[in-house]
Amino acid sequence: MRTQHRSSRTCSRASCQLPAIKTLTYIYAESTAVLGPLATYAEPHSYDLCQMHGEKLTLPNGWSVTKLEPEAAQAGPSEDDLMAIANAVREVGSQQSAPNPTPPQPPEIGRRGHLRAIPSN
C-alpha cells in the first residue's frame, strides 16, 4: 500500500517512471471509471497515472469514463455555497442563544411505581 505524498508519486503503469498527475478509480457496480486530478494520498484501489497514460486510457467494452478536470475540482465553493454555509451557521447560532423553554408538565395527582395518574381536563 502506497501512502506517499502527492509530489513524489509516479505512474502506476508497469515500467513507467513519469510523475503521476491523475488518479484513476473504478466503480465496478456501475461499470464506470473516474479519471480526475491526482488524489491527495495514494489509495490501494486507485491508480496514479502520468499525462500520457491518462490520455491513452482504454476501458473494457460496455464501460464508461467520467473525466474530472483539475480546474473544476480546484475551483472551490461557489458564492451560493458560501452563503448557504453562512446562513446555516447563523441559524445554529441563533438557536443556541435563544432560551430553551421547557414545556409545561401536567400536574400529577398520584404515582405508584412506574404508573401515574394525571387529571383530565
Domain ranges of the chain: 6-74
Pairing of strands 46-49, 22-27: antiparallel
Closest-CA residue to 19 (of 29, 5, 34, 31) = 5
The angle formed by the CA atoms of residues 18, 8 and 20, to the nearest 5 degrees, is: 40
Residue 19 has pLDDT above 70, yes or no: yes
What DSSP string describes 43-79? Answer: -TTEEEE-HHHHHT----TT-EEEE--HHHHHS---H
Q: How long is the chain?
A: 121
The whole-number pLDDT of residue 114 equals 66
Sequence-separated (6 or more) residues with CB below 8 Å from residue 64: 31, 32, 33
In terms of pLDDT, which residue wins out, 8 or 49? 49
pTM of the model: 0.52
